[in-house]
């Protein structure tokens, strides 16, 4: 394995500038020209890559599953449509792909995406410089292996997961690639610029930057990064200066006041530029041989929220954090029936597919092979999740 990785026209590694990834996500608001504006803006302010998300609503979320849960949770609470409809609206047209790639090339940055289906992995591979896996797919090993087999660098986020789940996912990837970047992440996406101070501090408390140290010990040679959703740059400087992160992903918007699911917690051009500048300053000042305490004092002197930095260190135990208990259900996939299944039927290939949400008793995508050939002891309607109690 190597901790120096080439992505597009850039390198990620210990002796390279920090690789900043602007996650455009849904902030294009369905407008190709706005997507292009976002690419040029993030490039101008120091991004080295623009990352998009490609999905079809029907292959990522179950309308029935979310309706059965009743209501919305976490960052979905302000949404004025059903969750399925929001995903339909936010879907990035595949027809934009070539234009987005060419725009990134013109801006001098790399283009890649998080593809939320096996079909999209195959379809988009000729256009991307790397793959990103969102935290919610950490238990979908089939998708992980499909991206790892492509020969492209693979960036894996690990929010709302345990060390055992990360180890299994990393193992699935390393069977096929040594070009892996592993990112600590917290999947609570509710940050707002005007939120109460106690809420902000509680958010920092769940970042747990020290998990990067645990990753370094568990997966030597794997490049480390941070996928973050807090405002400001304190967690970024902590990850880079204290734990060796060399890639950073944050959401990017032109304006936090725009209407849309991702705008409120995204970085804007001004905060992004400052983050990049402060990180470069940190890289210039930090030196081999510094003690951890000396590094911490340096990071603290450069960051925008010293109290938040202190709280964000954590205990280094990779776990589902207190503020991720909703998202571990909302963003994960559980196996669901693709058609009405009757009691007494034998589960066959194609009868089950992994979709969000994943209730606590739902089977994980990697458990599909254990379901095949098993007999149902109750009727399962199309779209319902399946449990071990449903099978002989």
Q: Is 289 exposed, middle or buried (0-12, 13-18, 19+ CB in 10 A)?
A: exposed
Predicted confidence at residue 151, as pLDDT, reads 95
Backbone angles phi, psi at 154, to 5 degrees: -130, 120
Cβ–Cβ contacts within 10 Å for residue 303, how many? 23
Predicted confidence at residue 291, as pLDDT, reads 97
> Which residues have CB under 8 Å from 8's CB, separation 6+?
49, 109, 110, 111, 112, 129, 130
The DSSP bridge partners found for residue 380 are 341
Q: Tell me which of 3.10.310.10, 3.30.70.20, 3.20.20.70, 3.30.565.10 is the CATH number of domain 9-55+92-324.
A: 3.20.20.70
Tell me the H-state helices in the chain: 32-44, 63-69, 83-90, 97-107, 118-124, 141-148, 163-174, 197-205, 211-218, 234-243, 269-285, 292-302, 306-312, 327-330, 368-371
- What gap in Å lies between CA 312 and CA 298, rounded to an integer? 16
Of 123, 181, 113, 177, which is closest to residue 151 (Cα–Cα)?
177
Of 282, 159, 158, 286, which is closest to residue 222 (Cα–Cα)?
158
- What gap in Å lies between CA 144 and CA 180, rounded to an integer? 11
Backbone angles phi, psi at 21, to 5 degrees: -110, 115
Distances 106 to 43, 101, 110, 268 between C-alpha atoms, Å:
10, 9, 10, 21
Predicted confidence at residue 129, as pLDDT, reads 98
Distances 150 to 21, 54, 79, 109, 225 between C-alpha atoms, Å:
21, 17, 36, 21, 21
Predicted confidence at residue 78, as pLDDT, reads 57
Do 181 and 154 meet the contact criterion of CB atoms below 8 Å apart? yes
pLDDT in tens, the chain (392 residues): 557 999 999 999 999 999 999 999 989 999 999 999 999 999 999 999 999 999 999 999 999 999 888 755 554 555 567 888 888 888 899 999 999 999 999 999 999 999 999 999 999 999 999 999 999 999 999 999 999 999 999 999 999 999 999 999 999 999 999 999 999 999 998 888 899 999 999 999 999 999 999 999 999 999 999 999 999 999 999 999 999 999 999 999 999 999 888 899 999 999 999 999 999 999 999 999 999 999 999 999 999 999 999 999 999 999 999 999 999 999 999 999 999 999 999 999 999 999 999 999 999 999 999 999 999 999 999 999 999 999 99
- What gap in Å lies between CA 262 and CA 222, rounded to an integer? 29
With b for 16 or more beta-carbon neighbours within 10 A and e for fewer, the 37-60 pattern comes to: ebbbbbbebbbbbbbbbbbebeeb
Predicted confidence at residue 2, as pLDDT, reads 58
Check residue 303 and report its DSSP letter. Answer: -
Q: Taken in order 24, 251, 41, 127, is the CA torsion positive or negative?
A: negative
Q: How many CA atoms lie within 13 A of 154 on its CB side?
A: 29
- What gap in Å lies between CA 2 and CA 334, rounded to an integer? 33
Predicted confidence at residue 88, as pLDDT, reads 87
- What gap in Å lies between CA 255 and CA 258, rounded to an integer? 6
Predicted confidence at residue 316, as pLDDT, reads 98
- What gap in Å lies between CA 305 and CA 207, rounded to an integer? 14
> Which residues have CB under 8 Å from 267's CB, separation 6+?
22, 231, 250, 251, 252, 253, 275
Backbone angles phi, psi at 244, to 5 degrees: 80, 15
């Amino acid at each position: 394995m190597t901790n120096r990785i080439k992505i597009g026209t850039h390198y990620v590694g210990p002796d390279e500038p920090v690789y900043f990834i602007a996650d455009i996500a849904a902030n294009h608001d369905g407008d190709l020209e706005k997507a292009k504006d976002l690419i040029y803006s993030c490039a101008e302010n120091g991004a080295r890559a623009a990352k998009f998300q490609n999905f079809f609503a029907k292959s990522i979320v179950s309308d029935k599953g979310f309706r059965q849960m009743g209501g919305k949770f976490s960052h979905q609470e302000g949404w004025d449509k059903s969750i399925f409809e929001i995903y339909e609206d936010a879907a990035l047209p595949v027809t934009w792909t070539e234009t987005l790639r060419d725009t990134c090339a013109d801006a001098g940055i790399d283009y890649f995406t998080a593809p939320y289906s096996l079909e999209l992995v195959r379809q988009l591979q000729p256009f991307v410089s790397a793959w990103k896996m969102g935290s919610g797919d950490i238990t979908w090993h089939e998708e992980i292996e499909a991206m790892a087999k492509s020969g492209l660098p693979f960036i894996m986020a690990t929010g709302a997961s345990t060390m055992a789940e990360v180890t299994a996912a990393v193992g699935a990837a390393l069977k096929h690639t040594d070009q892996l970047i592993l990112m600590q992440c917290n999947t609570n996406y509710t940050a707002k610029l005007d939120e109460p101070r106690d809420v902000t501090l509680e958010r920092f408390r769940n970042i747990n930057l020290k998990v990067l140290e645990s990753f370094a010990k568990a997966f030597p040679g794997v490049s480390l990064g941070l996928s973050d959703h807090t405002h400001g740059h304190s967690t970024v400087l902590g990850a880079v200066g204290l734990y060796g992160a060399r890639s950073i992903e944050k959401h990017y918007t032109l304006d936090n006041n725009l209407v849309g699911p991702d705008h409120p917690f995204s970085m804007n051009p001004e905060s992004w530029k400052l983050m990049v500048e402060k990180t470069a300053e940190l890289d210039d000042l930090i030196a081999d041989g510094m003690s951890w305490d000396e590094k911490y004092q340096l990071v603290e002197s450069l960051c925008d929220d010293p109290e938040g930095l202190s709280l964000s260190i954590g205990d280094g135990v990779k776990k589902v954090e207190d503020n991720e208990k909703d998202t571990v259900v909302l963003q994960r996939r559980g196996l669901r029936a693709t058609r009405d299944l009757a009691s007494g039927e034998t589960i066959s290939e194609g009868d089950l597919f992994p979709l969000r949400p994943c209730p606590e008793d739902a089977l994980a995508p990697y458990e599909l092979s254990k379901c095949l050939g098993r007999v149902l002891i109750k009727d399962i309607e199309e779209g319902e999740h399946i449990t071990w109690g449903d099978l002989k």
